[in-house]
Amino acid sequence: MPSVYSLKHSPYSSHMLLMQLLDPAQLGRRLLDVGCGNGYLSGLLAEKGFEVTCLEHPAGFDASFPSHIPLIPHDLEQPLPELPGPFDVILIADVLEHLRRPEDLLKGLWPYLSQHGVLVGSLPNSGNLYFRLQILLGRFPEDDKGLFDRTHLHFWMLENWRNLLSRSGFQCEVAEVSGIPVGLAMPALQWLEVVCYYCARAWKTLFAYQFLVIARRKSS
């Protein structure tokens, strides 16, 4: 079955904002893409100059996965296999909210991050105004993707995500935010994404659709 997830091309989307944050000249070249899906982001990162290794569930990709990128099939709910680390960057985009115990994965990745390496992730914001309004109206949609993705197991806000990373051995900062991707549902209103993005930057906890975080290892 083809994935419902795909590359988001809007300059205000989490994918394109991540591409701006990820610079091999500044961060280092060795990158592990955890939960990479069908490799749509990994391919762009390889073109940008990263030496990318991917980790994805065996059912999470198909024959169109980029053949030039090393791929390790693995169920992220299970203990990690031996990985060819250390890595300068570990990317974990739109993954943690889908796992029963995301802390286990983060703790497993910790040793594979180089001393000065960074973990970069995108995390949904269940404090977003749209989410709050749905709950206020007594609704809890079950969507294919988005804030009410039916496969999400955690509906957390910024402080929850900070606490998760902290108890997993990381210290994080919010590097960027994305706004509600209005254009995906209503292409004629794509101009509204600019408004949503700047609202999110002005009031992260209320208007951010996703938090883009950079985390570094705490001292052991």
pLDDT, tens digit, 9 for 90 and up, residues 101-144: 999 999 999 999 999 999 999 999 999 999 999 999 999 999 99
Question: pTM of this prediction?
Answer: 0.94
Using alpha carbons, select from 47, 34, 22 the residue that is nearest to residue 93. 34
Q: What does residue 77 show for φ and ψ, rounded to 5 degrees?
A: -80, -10
Note whether residue 75 is domain-resident: yes
Position 187 scores a pLDDT of: 83
Note whether residue 3 is domain-resident: no
Position 3 scores a pLDDT of: 56
Instruction: Give residue 176's domain range.
Output: 14-217
> What is the CATH number for 187?
3.40.50.150
Q: Indicate the number of domains in the chain.
A: 1
Tell me the pLDDT band of 219, cut-offs 50, 70 and 90. confident
Tell me the pLDDT band of 2, cut-offs 50, 70 and 90. very low
Rounded CA-CA distance 119/208 in Å is 20
For strands 87-93 and 113-124, give the pairing: parallel
Note whether residue 148 is domain-resident: yes
More confident residue, 78 or 184: 78
Note whether residue 7 is domain-resident: no
Note whether residue 155 is domain-resident: yes
